[in-house]
Amino acid sequence: MELTGAEIVVECLKEEGVEYLFGYPGGAVLHIYDALYKQDHIKHILVRHEQAATHAADGYARSTEKPGVVLVTSGPGATNAITGIATAYMDSIPMVIITGQVPTHAIGSDAFQEVDAVGITRPCVKHNFLVKDVKDLASTIKKAFFIATSGRPGPVVVDVPKDVTAAKTVFEYPKQISLRSYSPVERGHIGQIRRAVKLMLSAKRPMLYTGGGVILGNSAPELTELTRKLGYPITNTLMGLGGYPATDKQFLGMLGMHGTYEANMAMHHCDVLIAIGARFDDRVTGNVKKFCPGAQIVHVDIDPASISKSVRVDVPIVGSVKSVLQDMIRLLDETGEKPDATALAEWWKQIEEWRATDCLKYDRASEIIKPQMVVEKFYELSEGQAFLTSDVGQHQMWAAQFYKFDKPRRWINSGGLGTMGFGLPAAMGVQFAHPDALVGCVTGEGSIQMCIQELSTCLQYRLPIKIINLNNRYLGMVRQWQEFFYQSRYSMSYMEALPDFVKLAEAYGHVGMRIEKPSDVEPAIKEALRLKDRLVFMDFITDQKENVYPMIPAGAGLNEMILV
Partner 1 sequence: MRRIISILLENEAGALSRVAGLFSARGYNIESLTVAPTEDPSLSRMTLVTRGSNEILEQITKQLNKLIEVVKLIDLTEGPHIERELLLIKVHAVGDSRNEIKRLADIFRGRIVDVTASTYVIELTGTGEKLDAFIEALSGIRIIETVRSGVSGVSRGEKSLRL
Here's the x/- map for partner 1, 52-81, by CB under 8 A: it reads as ------------------------------
Annotated active-site residue 350? The verdict is: no
CA 521 to chain centre: 27
Q: Is 174 in the site for partner 1 (CB under 8 A)?
A: no
As a whole number of angstroms, the distance between CA 255 and CA 238 comes to 8
Q: Rounded to the nearest 5 degrees, what angle is found at the Cα of 407, between the Cα atoms of 339 and 243?
A: 45
Q: Which one, 157 or 292, has the nearer CB to partner 1? A: 157
DSSP 8-state symbol, 563: P
State the nearest-atom distance from the C-beta of 82 to partner 1, in Å. 15
Annotated active-site residue 50? The verdict is: yes
Annotated active-site residue 527? The verdict is: no
User: Of 166-174, 282-290, 300-308, 552-560, which segment contacts partner 1 by CB under 8 A?
Assistant: 300-308
State the nearest-atom distance from the C-beta of 154 to partner 1, in Å. 10
Q: H/E element holding 72? A: strand 68-72
Number of residues in contact with partner 1, rule: CB under 8 A? 18
Active-site choice (126, 142, 143, 162):
162
Footprint of partner 1 on 76-135 (CB under 8 A): 118-119, 122-123, 126-127, 130
- Please say whether the beta carbons of 291 and 552 come within 8 A: no
Annotated active-site residue 326? The verdict is: no
> Which of 104, 135, 173, 182 contacts partner 1 by CB under 8 A?
182
Helices 50-63 and 423-433: angle between axes, nearest 10 degrees: 50
Q: Rounded to the nearest 5 degrees, what angle is found at the Cα of 492, between the Cα atoms of 491 and 493?
A: 95
> Which of 180, 349, 489, 530 contacts partner 1 by CB under 8 A?
180
Handedness of CA 375, 379, 382, 387 (dihedral sign): positive
Annotated active-site residue 401? The verdict is: no
Q: Is 304 in the site for partner 1 (CB under 8 A)?
A: yes
Q: Is 499 in the site for partner 1 (CB under 8 A)?
A: no
Q: Is 299 in the site for partner 1 (CB under 8 A)?
A: no
Q: Which one, 105 or 312, has the nearer CB to partner 1? A: 312
Active-site choice (7, 11, 16, 50):
50
DSSP 8-state symbol, 551: B
State the nearest-atom distance from the C-beta of 414 to partner 1, in Å. 20
- Residue 470, beta-bridge partner list: 444, 540
> Which of 44, 309, 404, 407 contacts partner 1 by CB under 8 A?
309
State the nearest-atom distance from the C-beta of 207 to partner 1, in Å. 24
User: Comparing C-alpha atoms, which of 403, 407, 451 is closest to residue 426?
Assistant: 451
SS3 category, 199 = helix
State the nearest-atom distance from the C-beta of 126 to partner 1, in Å. 8
- Please say whether the beta carbons of 447 and 421 come within 8 A: yes
Q: Which one, 124 or 321, has the nearer CB to partner 1? A: 124
Q: Is 336 exposed, middle or buried (0-12, 13-18, 19+ CB in 10 A)?
A: exposed
Residue 391 has phi, psi (to 5 degrees) of: -95, -145
Q: Which one, 305 or 562, has the nearer CB to partner 1? A: 305
User: Comparing C-alpha atoms, which of 288, 196, 273 is closest to residue 233?
Assistant: 273
Phi-psi region of 336 (alpha: psi -120 to 50; beta: other; left: phi over 0): left
> Which of 18, 56, 141, 147 contacts partner 1 by CB under 8 A?
147
Residues near partner 1 (CB under 8 A)? 118-119, 122-123, 126-127, 130, 147, 179-182, 303-305, 308-309, 312
- Annotated catalytic sites, by residue? 50, 112-113, 162, 477
